[in-house]
Structure 1
Amino acid sequence: MTLHDTISAPAIHALGDYNHPSRSAKEIYGDDMLLMVWWKGNPWFVAAACCRVPEAMPWETFWAEVFVPYHEEDPDFDASKGWEQFDWFLAVNRTEAPVEVAAGKSLADLGLTHKAVLGFKNK
């Protein structure tokens, strides 16, 4: 059991109807998607980062041009060890569905979709 399990949701008191269009709907982004990237258990990056990336972007391009530059801010990250140093998963609610990353696959081919949470943790 976690702390979250012991907290009941408060009642929602709305002042009126909420009929505003989403500013993050898939239709706004065309062939791009918003991808959350979460380093589970890392004290430097405690929350997921949101990246706007093309769905067709190959994994190795994502690693080199998006992932590495952002995560190099962590003094313990070593890009020279490659993506094999991590276990990758798709975070869905409280479950982790393994993702087998591969150089030639696009982000879409890996099963990543708009607003998905790509998680990873140290092996």
Structure 2
Amino acid sequence: MGIELWISIVVIGLVCTFYTALGGLKAVMWTDAFQMIIIWIALLVLIIKSTIDVGGISYVFEKADDGGKLQFNNFNPSPIERHTFWTLFIGGFMLTLSGYIGSQSMVQRFISMKNVKGAQS
């Protein structure tokens, strides 16, 4: 944008301090929600644009299948075999769970609210 880095840091810091002082933790939570919506929209646009640029969804799946990347029917219960339904499901669950129970932002939200209903709103 053509502005100095330190000016950008100071301005963003002042704006965040101002709206946090006015709205409290609720303002911070709404900002987090808005930021997550923007991130999801940007990710969706990126996926759609890149899929269109390479030749469409059928081309993407065709190339993935040619490279052996699509294995939807591997239900082997062995924990040693890589990328089975069970290793991906259980591993993905544990990875997602760790983000909810161990990240600083989630812990901050949990301990700053009076009850579960307050944390959900």
TM-score range normalised by the length of the shorter chain: under 0.3
More strand by share: 1
Which structure has more relative contact order (CA 8 Å, sep 6+)? It is 1
TM-score normalized with structure 2 length: 0.25
More helix by share: 2
